[in-house]
């Protein structure tokens, strides 16, 4: 796998950093998640392929253990508020001094500088400050955050993973590590570059929810079918739009022009009436195999059995029978090989990992007894 041999220490976090760690693990890195002690359940639902060690960082011994793990690794991924790692004596200055090859990734909402740097926040706040949230939502409605996908995952975890991979690549030339300041505000804004930069061609001149790609256009929206399901329509280009009209059995000559903004609400009603006349399965049969850019809106229960997804094996099942998406993209020679085992319990690999990193068994036992670290026992308590 592409990242085989890369050792990552991931400090347990809420959602973006765990996703970043899972991407690295999916593509072959050895990712060790550092959990707290005395917690009964991991909140990390993105733990595929990771190992878990439980360390109490409120003890000097615990901090020393983490330091030893970090300086022997390639990457440290930390999801805390600015200043937390410095307070522990584990800031980038300290760790890079001991291991100049270390890549130190800091994944936060607001970044390491600026007046919001130490403020608490979540995806919706970062999205708001990026400007993007103001553009999301339907006409005459308040801004609407599309789950926590944009800032936490696209602008956060994924962008941070890109930063880590870039730093690993650069390190092959310079031999040096570096610090990655991954701000979810900036990551989200960057993911939104198209929106920013396509203002120059008038793509977003109209209010929220009245533009081509924000549910303003009748040919780029979802429609309810007679069985209460939905179809997604993305027929932008004229040749595809013609096929949409053909499938809907509508005559272009009797309709307003596709790009007549003022007629979009009327056209949307016409399309809505048509879609409401047949079931999702009937519309799928009509549009499958055409270039009308019309597809059924599938539920999570339906995706893996859809022929296209099934043919590509786009979804995988873990040992507990839970389905999830296969890692993307697919690399031809060194594809990801996602672990299918159940997610690690907290501290499941403490002993194994510490021994691998050079700790003596007697020292491990002494730290276990003192509550500095926790091991397998936690699994039984879950
Ligand atoms: C009813 C509630 C149920 C909750 C269920 C949750 C289910 C998951 C839901 C996922 C929702 C995802 C949402 C939508 C998101 O947007 S997640 C993104 C959140 N934002 C970020 O990650 C940005 C960066 N992080 C932060 O800004 C902050 O960490 C935070 C998220 C605001 C949380 O702040 P806060 O809890 O005060 O923590 P921090 O200031 O980071 O400090 C962490 C403290 O914990 C300590 N710590 C860490 N590891 C250990 C350890 N192993 N052992 C002992 N202590 C540990 C650190 O030392 C630090 O302590 P201290 O410096 O405060 O004394």
In a domain, 313, yes or no: no
Residue 201 counted as domain residue = no
Domain C-terminal end among 297, 327, 351: 297
Best mutation site among 84, 180, 378 for ligand 1 pocket (most ligand atoms within 8 Å of CB) = 84
Question: From the CB of 303, is ligand 1 less than 6 Å away?
Answer: no
Cβ atoms of 73 and 101 within 8 Å: the answer is no
Taking the CA of residue 87 as reference, the ligand 1 atom at the shortest distance is 62
Ligand 1 atom at minimal distance to the Cα of residue 45: 8
| Cα–ligand 1 centroid distance for 127 (angstroms) | 18
pLDDT at position 42 is 78
Q: Whose CA is nearest to atom 29 of ligand 1?
A: 80
- Cβ–Cβ under 8 Å, residues 104 and 96: yes
**Cβ–Cβ under 8 Å, residues 315 and 323:** yes
Is the shortest distance between the CB of 148 and ligand 1 below 6 Å?
Answer: yes
pLDDT at 377: 53
**What was the pLDDT predicted at 261?**
94
Per-residue pLDDT, 192: 98
Please give the pLDDT value at position 382.
Answer: 39
> Is 232 within the bounds of a domain?
yes
How many separate domains does the chain show?
A: 2
Give catalytic status of residue 308 as yes or no. no
Is 183's C-beta closer than 6 angstroms to any atom of ligand 1? no
56-67 pLDDT tens trace: 999 999 999 999
Residue 312 placed within a domain: no
For the chain, residues with pLDDT lower than 50 are 378-382
Write the CATH number for 288. 3.30.1540.10
Domain shared by 230 and 174, yes or no: no
Is residue 18 domain-shared with residue 135, that is, in the same domain? yes
* Residue 294 to residue 240: CA distance in whole angstroms: 10
The CATH number of the domain holding residue 368 is: 3.40.50.10540
For residues 337 and 29, give the distance between their C-alpha atoms in angstroms, rounded to a whole number.
11
How far apart are alpha carbons 284 and 260 in whole angstroms? 28
pLDDT at site 379:
46
Four-residue CA torsion sign, 113, 115, 118, 123: negative
Whether the Cβ atoms of residue 376 and residue 347 lie closer than 8 Å to each other: yes
249 lies in the same domain as 278:
yes
Domain of residue 274, residue span = 220-297
Q: Is there a single domain that holds both residue 145 and residue 233?
A: no
pTM of the model: 0.96
Same domain, 37 and 136: yes
Is 73's C-beta closer than 6 angstroms to any atom of ligand 1?
Answer: no
> Which residue CA neighbors atom 24 of ligand 1 most closely?
108
Written as one string, the DSSP assignment of 307-357 is HHHHHHT-EEE-TTS-EEEPPSS--SSS------SPPPPTTTTHHHHHHHT
Q: Do residues 138 and 209 make contact, with C-beta atoms less than 8 angstroms apart? A: yes
Torsion angle, alpha carbons of 368, 372, 377, 382, to 10: 170
CA distance 349 to 83: 28
Given a contact cutoff of 8 angstroms between Cβ atoms, the answer to whether 258 and 238 are in contact is yes
Q: Which one of 243, 265, 297 terminates a domain?
A: 297
Same domain, 278 and 348: no
DSSP 265-292: HHHHHHHHHHHTTS-HHHHHHHHTTSSS
Same domain, 13 and 155: yes
Give percent helix, percent strand, percent coil of the chain, each to the nearest 5. 40, 15, 45
Both 276 and 179 in one domain: the answer is: no
Active site (annotated) includes residue 376:
no
For position 43, what pLDDT does the model report? 82
**ipTM for the complex?**
0.97
Are 177 and 284 found together in one domain? no
3-state secondary structure of 200: helix
- Please say which residue of 236, 263, 297 terminates a domain: 297
Nearest Cα to Cα of residue 217 among 199, 204, 230, 227? 204
In a domain, 272, yes or no: yes
Q: Which atom of ligand 1 is the closest one to the Cα of 35?
A: 52
Atom 51 of ligand 1, residue of closest alpha carbon: 36
Give nearest CA residue, ligand 1 atom 46.
Answer: 57
Residues 273 and 343 in one domain: no
Both 20 and 58 in a single domain? yes
Q: List the residue whose alpha carbon is closest to atom 12 of ligand 1.
A: 15
Å from CA of 12 to ligand 1 middle? 9
Neighbour tally for 173: CB within 10 Å: 7
CB burial readout 153-166, b (16+ within 10 A) else e: bbbbbbbbbbbbbe
Q: Are residues 228 and 160 in the same domain?
A: no
Q: Tell me, yes or no, whether 237 lies in a domain.
A: yes
Asked if residue 210 is part of any domain, the answer here is no
Distance 2 CA to ligand 1 centre (A): 30
pLDDT digits (tens, 9 = 90+) for 154-184: 999 999 999 999 999 999 999 999 999 999 9
Whether 381 maps to a domain, the answer reads no
Ligand 1: does its nearest atom lie under 6 Å from the Cβ of 87? yes
């Amino acid at each position: 796998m592409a990242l085989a041999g890369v050792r990552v220490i991931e400090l347990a976090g809420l959602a973006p950093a765990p996703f970043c760690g899972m991407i690295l693990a999916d593509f072959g890195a050895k990712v060790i998640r550092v959990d707290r002690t005395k917690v009964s359940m991991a909140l990390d639902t993105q733990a595929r392929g990771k190992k878990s060690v439980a360390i109490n960082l409120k003890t000097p011994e615990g901090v020393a253990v983490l330091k030893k793990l970090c300086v022997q690794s390639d990457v440290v991924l930390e999801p805390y508020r600015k200043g937390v790692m410095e307070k522990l004596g584990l800031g980038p200055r300290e760790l890079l001094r001991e291991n100049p090859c270390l890549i130190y990734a800091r994944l936060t909402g607001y970044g390491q500088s600026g007046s919001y740097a130490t403020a608490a926040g979540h995806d919706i706040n970062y999205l708001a400050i990026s400007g993007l949230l103001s553009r999301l939502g339907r006409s005459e409605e308040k801004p609407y955050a599309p789950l926590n996908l944009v800032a936490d995952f696209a602008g956060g975890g994924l962008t941070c993973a890109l930063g880590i991979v870039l730093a690993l690549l650069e390190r092959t030339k310079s031999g040096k590590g570096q610090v990655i300041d991954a701000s979810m505000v900036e990551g989200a804004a960057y993911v939104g570059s198209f929106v920013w930069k396509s203002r120059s061609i008038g793509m977003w001149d109209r209010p929220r929810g009245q533009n081509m790609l924000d549910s303003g256009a009748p040919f780029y929206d979802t429609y309810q079918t007679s069985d209460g399901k939905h179809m997604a329509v993305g027929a932008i280009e004229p040749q595809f739009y013609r096929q949409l009209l053909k499938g809907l059995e509508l005559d272009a000559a009797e309709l307003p022009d596709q790009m007549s903004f003022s007629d979009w609400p009327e056209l949307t009603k016409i399309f809505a009436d048509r879609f409401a006349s047949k079931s999702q399965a009937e519309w799928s049969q009509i549009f499958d195999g055409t270039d009308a850019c019309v597809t059924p809106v599938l539920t999570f229960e339906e995706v893996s059995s859809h022929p296209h997804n099934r043919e590509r094996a786009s979804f995988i099942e873990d040992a507990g029978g839970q389905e999830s998406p296969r890692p993307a993209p697919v690399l031809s020679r060194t594809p990801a090989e996602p672990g299918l085992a159940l997610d690690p319990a907290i501290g499941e690999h403490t002993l194994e990992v510490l021994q691998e990193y050079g700790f003596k068994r007697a020292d491990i036992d002494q730290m276990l007894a003192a509550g500095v670290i926790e091991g397998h026992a936690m699994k039984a308590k879950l």
